[in-house]
Amino acid sequence: MWSNKACFRCAILALTFGGLLPIAAGQAKGLAADRPQGDLFARDNLLAWCIVPFDAKRRGPEERAAMLARLGFKHFAYDWRAEHLPTFPAEIEALARHGIRLDAVWFSSGLDKDGRFILDTLAKHDVKTQLWVTGGGEPATSPEEQRRRVTAEAARIRSIAEEAAKIDCTVGLYNHGGWFGEPENQLAVIEELNLPNVGIVYNLHHGHDHLDRFAAALAQMKPHLLALNLNGMVAGGDRRNQKILPLGQGDFDLSLLKAIRDSGYRGLIGILGHTMDDAEQRLADNLDGLDWLVPQLDGKAPGLKPRPRTDATPPKR
């Protein structure tokens, strides 16, 4: 039994980062390695995320697509609950009418009824997109358990990735906490799989424990990174009711944006809803914060710090 968790993490880092086989640039759907550096945070590279079940106005597909168009979004990631899936075909059609690309879909943990419905719907509408898949689990306590966990998770993801490949879609490993949410473990699963259509989706709001090593983790994830979702970040925010903050309201936001820009990552940048406010207002708060932060990356003096329309410290959920 390993009692020293720090030493165990170091061992896993060494094993994981030692010999990865990166996805070739542009091979996984969603990578945009050739995007000009200055355009990384431009409106046409921003992806709206977590606004279907998280919306006080409970918009339907047409209202949501129109709202995204008003805010200038060209990209959208679809999250859902069971009540929303019957209108998924209408969602695809509404997005197309408004010139918005469906770049990702929250996917089931396996090939269950909902997962099959999503795959069938994407195939019917000839949509090629990312499937965001998550997992969990407590930390492994020995190298043997770590090896078993990597093998088991690779087998689970492989079944999804093989079905996704049949319709030219990509799987993104989505950090949502737990064992599966650690970058080192996701990289180990990707190495085990060695499939060209599996990458990583990184969420800052599930990465509070990574703040002290974010730049190093980002450098290792970058060859596999499909999307990176932003959030206002404070130390320990996930443990003190500040897990999800508007951009510009966190202590680390500017330094994180600088690390992302300087890393050379040129893929999609996600803008978060994820609160039960009016989703349009919450997205607008994040856009305001981004607009306030980006000029500072080039040393320009900031204007007035934006004041959010929505509650910057939402009730604990």
What does the pLDDT look like over 210-245, one tens digit per residue?
A: 999 999 999 999 999 999 999 999 999 999 999 999
What CATH number does residue 285 fall under? 3.20.20.150
Count structural domains, the chain.
1
Strand, helix or coil at 47? strand
* Domain-embedded: residue 112: yes
Q: CB pairs under 8 A, 24+ apart, for 146-154? A: 146/12, 146/188, 149/179, 149/185, 150/185, 150/188, 150/189, 150/192, 151/192, 153/180, 153/185, 153/189, 154/189, 154/192, 154/193
Query: pTM (2 decimals)?
Result: 0.88
pLDDT beyond 80 at 38: no
264 torsion bin: left (phi>0), alpha (psi -120 to 50), beta (else): left
The amino acid at residue 150 is V
307 lies in a domain? Answer: no
DSSP 308: P
C-alpha radius of gyration, the chain, whole number: 19
Structure-token pair, residue 41: 């945070």
SS3 category, 66: helix
Q: Is 176 inside any structural domain?
A: yes
Q: Can you tell me which residue has the tokens 């059609």?
A: 93
Contact between residue 245 and residue 312 where contact means Cβ atoms under 8 Å apart: yes
DSSP state, residue 298: T
Q: What is the pLDDT of residues 123-164, one digit of tens each?
A: 999 999 999 999 999 999 999 999 999 999 999 999 999 999
pLDDT average, residue stretch 263-275: 97
- Reference 274, options 45, 47, 43, 49; nearest CA is 49
pLDDT in tens, 94-131: 999 999 999 999 999 999 999 999 999 999 999 999 99
What are 213's two structure tokens?
A: 């090593």
What's phi and psi for 139, nearest 5 deg? -60, 145
How does the average pLDDT of the chain come out, rounded?
Answer: 89
pLDDT given at position 313: 63
Number of Cβ within a 10 Å radius of residue 207: 23
Residue 114, domain member (yes or no): yes
Tens-place pLDDT, residues 272-314: 999 999 999 999 999 999 999 999 999 999 899 999 999 866 5
- Mean pLDDT over 168-187 rounds to 98
Mean pLDDT to the nearest integer, 49-58: 97
Looking at residues 190-199, what average pLDDT do you find?
Answer: 98
Pairing of strands 101-106, 130-133: parallel
Does residue 179 lie in a domain region? Answer: yes
Q: Has residue 16 been placed in a domain? A: no
* Across 50-73, average pLDDT: 98
Per residue in 18-37, pLDDT (tens digit) is 333 333 333 344 444 444 44
The two beta strands, 198-203 and 170-174, are: parallel
> Does residue 9 lie within any of the structural domains?
no
Pairing verdict, β 225-229 and 101-106: unpaired
Cβ-based neighbours of 238, under 8 Å, separated by 6 or more: 205, 206, 208, 209
Range of the domain at 170: 28-297
Q: Quick one: average pLDDT of 167-181?
A: 98
Whether 1 is covered by a domain: the verdict is no
